[in-house]
Structure 1
Amino acid sequence: MSSDPWGRVDETGTVYVRTADGEKVVGSWQAGSPEEALAYFERKYEGLVVEIGLLEKRVKTTDLSAKDAQTAIDHLREQVDAHHAVGDLESLRARLDKLVALVEARREERKAQRAKQSDEARGAKEALVAEAEELARSDQWRAAGERLRSLVDTWKGLPRLDRRSDDELWHRFSHARSAFSKRRKQHFAQLDAQREEARRTKERLVSEAEALSNSTDWGPTAARYRDLMSEWKAAGRAQREHEDDLWNRFRGAQDVFFAARGSVFAERDAEQTENLKLKEELAEEAEKLVPVTDLKAARAAFRSVNERWEAIGHVPRDARPKVEGRMHAVERALQEAEEAEWRRTNPEARARAEGLTGQLQAAVDKLRSQVEQARAQGNDAKADKLARELEGRQALLDQALKGLHEFGG
């Protein structure tokens, strides 16, 4: 008979293992000596030790699922409980019990992590819905439309919630986008209708203007042309592809009439020469408004000049482009001042300009540091290459700073 601290072999070849509940039969051995029998079942015990150790490592260091881990634990526990090995089986059970507790703790930890991620995703989606519902009421059609498309991309990158919550939030989000699209479509449909109405009105005005172009009833016809011009201005703009052509026809009809009247009233050249003198004086008065320092006052003053200009009457035909060009130049300067003021007070454009300037400044500073470092290391070729790149970035930065200056920054 042979034995060790955890097992023995009796004279019949039966192998026993010692447990807290007493000896348990491990198996029968008839093929060799008792020592060989114990060694065989001790190797089976060592195999269990190795398997449990590997499982402990997988649970602690990998993302093994709780379900798979529990299945592996149950499989090993069955082998331990079968008593087909000689060794400290109780210690193996204790290690398996600890593994069960660890797996359960990992399960709860992952459950809490998933709950946290779900809460964060819910908060993010609720914020997207709130912003979309706010944008749905916006009249900034282009900016709001681009932002809504950006929100969709952000939504797609977020994890799904439970089906009911996700569907409810998506319904609100989708409804906000649909409401905005419907309002935008209605707006542009109305705008198209207005431009089509303007086109029809201007077509009528052009037809009448062309019908009057050969009239010799100078006074009433000239008065009617003035009325037609007022109606033209009140009609609003037609579609871009029609507006210029209609205007050229309308203006051309008037030119035909007034050219004919001018040839008949050649004796009024002196009056027109005086008109030219008066308009040149008004043009000079208007030119003093440039450069614009007080936009509101300049615009009011220009309106006054323009009203007096309109009241003067015609000037010699060959002088008209030049003197009118002077007034148009002042008007363009006022328009550019208005546009500059709008850009200066536009917070979105200012924010973009500041952001670009900051990025370019950081790039210039980085390149300057790299040039100095390359010079210090004696790498002149690299330094020259970086210096050329620095020169280009500096030019962009100077341009951006100039643009930012227009915002008063």
Structure 2
Amino acid sequence: MREDTVSTDPWGRVDDDGTVYVRTAEGERAVGSWKAGEPEEALAYFRRKFEELAGQVALLEQRVRGTDLAPAQAEASIAKLRESVADAHAVGDLDALLKRLDALSELVAQRREEVKAARDAARAEARAVKERIVAEAENVAESTTHWKTGGERLRQLVEEWKAAERIDRVTEAALWKRLSAARTAFAKRRKAYFAGLDEQREGVRSVKERIVTEAESLASSTDWGPTASAYRELMRQWKSAGRASREVEDELWGRFKAAQDQFFQARSAVFAERDASFAANAEVKEQLLAEAEKILPVSDARAARAAFRGVLERWEEAGPVPREQRDRLEGGLRRIDDAIRKAEEAEWKRSNPEARARAQNTVDQLRRSIGQLEARLDKARAAGKDKDVKDAEEALAARRSWLEEAERTLAEFS
């Protein structure tokens, strides 16, 4: 230490000519001069300068550690403050301030790596998101035939793309190109589909116009049966033709239905008038049906058939009946005819000599078999052969059951 120093401080001094020095690890450095006033005042002034610098360092430490200050901005602030400390006209532990700034630089460097890692992870995630968006868009463009749903989904995927983080420019551009190509391909497929659909609908229109023209030509026909069949065939053709556009479909269907209704309403009116004239015939057939029902139950098939034949002749002479009564009356007469036929079949069966002979032969065979089994049973019992006794008893039980059935069948022929 120089002997001419007039005032000293742990971190600086003032010499006799008023020059103020600060002590650093590299040695003393003049930071100013003080010509007026006491040396202590000079040191106090330059200590305040140091305290201002220390406050700036503390504030920067607080900003770096307590906020999300960007690394680049933090590094710029540290560099600027480091320069201020290195050239500071102040008295104090400037080396300690520089060390604190070095520690801040290390922290910022670590923060920069963390930010970079987070950015890389975000970009990787964003890339995965955008690759997923593109893959789904390509799948929609290539496979879907639900055009409205597919178009809406592609619009949603574009919005998801915009909301996702950006990635490196080259990859971003390549993926966007694929997404745009998928949207274009979808639009082309949809356009081609609807163009084909328009062509198909035009073909359906031609077919249905022919059907309607034919239906309208039949509307005034009085050839009821064949025309009704023709309308049924035209309806079958209509259903199998496919669909035209909604407006055309509605207009052609209205014409078709109007022609069909005209025909069937005319037919219904004619049938209603005719059915009214058939009411008297129905009354006759009601009486004939009541007469025929008295034939039941059938006790003499031959007499029943003769009586039924007489009813049937008068039935045919009575003529047609209204449609709503036809099925009931015809069904009642058919039921009586069936009963007579069954009686005739049963009578023929009873009088069939070959069938009776077969039934008699079956009864005779079973009776002989039973006699043989009874003899075998007696011998087995006499010999004390329990197993043979059991076998013979079981066989006898079966044969006797068969004999009862055979005798009932034979009795039907008597």
Please classify the TM superposition score into its range, dividing by the shorter chain length: 0.5 to 0.7
How far does residue 163 in structure 1 lie from its aligned partner after superposition?
Answer: 1.6
Partner amino acid, structure 2, of 1:191? L
How far does residue 272 in structure 1 lie from its aligned partner after superposition?
Answer: 6.6
Partner amino acid, structure 2, of 1:68? Q
Establish whether residue 106 from structure 1 lines up as the match of residue 105 from structure 2. no
1:96 paired residue number: 101
Contact 1:17 1:83 in 2 (8 A): no
After superposition, the Cα gap between the structure-2 partners of 1:92 and 1:274, relative to the gap in structure 1 and judged at 3 Å, is: same
1:120 paired residue number: 125
> Of 224, 227, 240, which aligns to 1:234?
240
> Of 141, 152, 175, which aligns to 2:147?
141
2:256 paired residue number: 250
How far does residue 170 in structure 1 lie from its aligned partner after superposition?
Answer: 1.6
1:401 paired residue number: none
After superposition, the Cα gap between the structure-2 partners of 1:38 and 1:255, relative to the gap in structure 1 and judged at 3 Å, is: closer
After superposition, the Cα gap between the structure-2 partners of 1:20 and 1:216, relative to the gap in structure 1 and judged at 3 Å, is: closer
How far does residue 222 in structure 1 lie from its aligned partner after superposition?
Answer: 5.0
1:132 paired residue number: 137
The CA distance in 1 between the partners of 2:250 and 2:22, in whole Å, is 106
> Can you list the C-alpha shifts for 1:145-174, whole angstroms capped at 9, x where unaligned?
333333222222111111211121122222
Equivalenced residues, count: 279
The CA distance in 1 between the partners of 2:108 and 2:51, in whole Å, is 23
Establish whether residue 193 from structure 1 lines up as the match of residue 193 from structure 2. no
Establish whether residue 31 from structure 1 lines up as the match of residue 81 from structure 2. no
> Can you list the C-alpha shifts for 1:254-278, whole angstroms capped at 9, x where unaligned?
3434555566676587477169849
The CA distance in 2 between the partners of 1:275 and 1:250, in whole Å, is 32
How far does residue 127 in structure 1 lie from its aligned partner after superposition?
Answer: 1.3
1:169 paired residue number: 175
The CA distance in 2 between the partners of 1:273 and 1:202, in whole Å, is 33
The CA distance in 2 between the partners of 1:175 and 1:276, in whole Å, is 71
2:290 paired residue number: none
Partner amino acid, structure 2, of 1:210? E
Partner amino acid, structure 2, of 1:167? A
The CA distance in 1 between the partners of 2:76 and 2:326, in whole Å, is 103
1:181 paired residue number: 187
After superposition, the Cα gap between the structure-2 partners of 1:257 and 1:7, relative to the gap in structure 1 and judged at 3 Å, is: closer
Query: Which SS does the other structure have where 1:27 is aligned?
Result: strand
Query: Which SS does the other structure have where 2:167 is aligned?
Result: coil
The CA distance in 2 between the partners of 1:247 and 1:71, in whole Å, is 81
> Can you list the C-alpha shifts for 1:382-407, whole angstroms capped at 9, x where unaligned?
xxxxxxxxxxxxxxxxxxxxxxxxxx
Gap regions ≥5 residues in structure 2: 1-5, 279-319, 332-414
The CA distance in 2 between the partners of 1:188 and 1:277, in whole Å, is 52
RMSD: 2.8
Partner amino acid, structure 1, of 2:240? A
The CA distance in 1 between the partners of 2:51 and 2:105, in whole Å, is 21
2:73 paired residue number: 68
Query: Which SS does the other structure have where 2:17 is aligned?
Result: coil
Gap regions ≥5 residues in structure 1: 282-409
Partner amino acid, structure 2, of 1:179? A
The CA distance in 2 between the partners of 1:116 and 1:264, in whole Å, is 87
The CA distance in 2 between the partners of 1:276 and 1:190, in whole Å, is 53
After superposition, the Cα gap between the structure-2 partners of 1:2 and 1:139, relative to the gap in structure 1 and judged at 3 Å, is: same
Query: Which SS does the other structure have where 1:2 is aligned?
Result: strand
Contact 1:15 1:29 in 2 (8 A): yes
Which stretch of structure 1 is more off in the superposition, 92-101 or 207-216? 207-216
The CA distance in 1 between the partners of 2:321 and 2:139, in whole Å, is 62
1:273 paired residue number: 323
Partner amino acid, structure 1, of 2:112? R
Query: Which SS does the other structure have where 2:217 is aligned?
Result: helix
Establish whether residue 59 from structure 1 lines up as the match of residue 64 from structure 2. yes
Partner amino acid, structure 2, of 1:155? W
The CA distance in 2 between the partners of 1:67 and 1:78, in whole Å, is 17
Query: Which SS does the other structure have where 1:146 is aligned?
Result: helix
After superposition, the Cα gap between the structure-2 partners of 1:262 and 1:85, relative to the gap in structure 1 and judged at 3 Å, is: closer
The CA distance in 2 between the partners of 1:185 and 1:127, in whole Å, is 26
Query: Which SS does the other structure have where 1:59 is aligned?
Result: helix
2:387 paired residue number: none
After superposition, the Cα gap between the structure-2 partners of 1:272 and 1:77, relative to the gap in structure 1 and judged at 3 Å, is: same
Partner amino acid, structure 2, of 1:245? E
TM (norm. structure 1) is: 0.61
The CA distance in 1 between the partners of 2:211 and 2:222, in whole Å, is 19
Pairwise mapping of residues 313-392 of structure 1 onto structure 2 (< 5 A)? none
Establish whether residue 17 from structure 1 lines up as the match of residue 40 from structure 2. no
The CA distance in 1 between the partners of 2:97 and 2:225, in whole Å, is 118
Query: Which SS does the other structure have where 1:8 is aligned?
Result: strand
The CA distance in 1 between the partners of 2:326 and 2:126, in whole Å, is 73
Asked which structure has the greater CA Rg, the reply is 2
> Can you list the C-alpha shifts for 1:198-234, whole angstroms capped at 9, x where unaligned?
2232222222322333345666655544443333233
After superposition, the Cα gap between the structure-2 partners of 1:224 and 1:111, relative to the gap in structure 1 and judged at 3 Å, is: same
Contact 1:24 1:83 in 2 (8 A): no
How far does residue 113 in structure 1 lie from its aligned partner after superposition?
Answer: 0.8
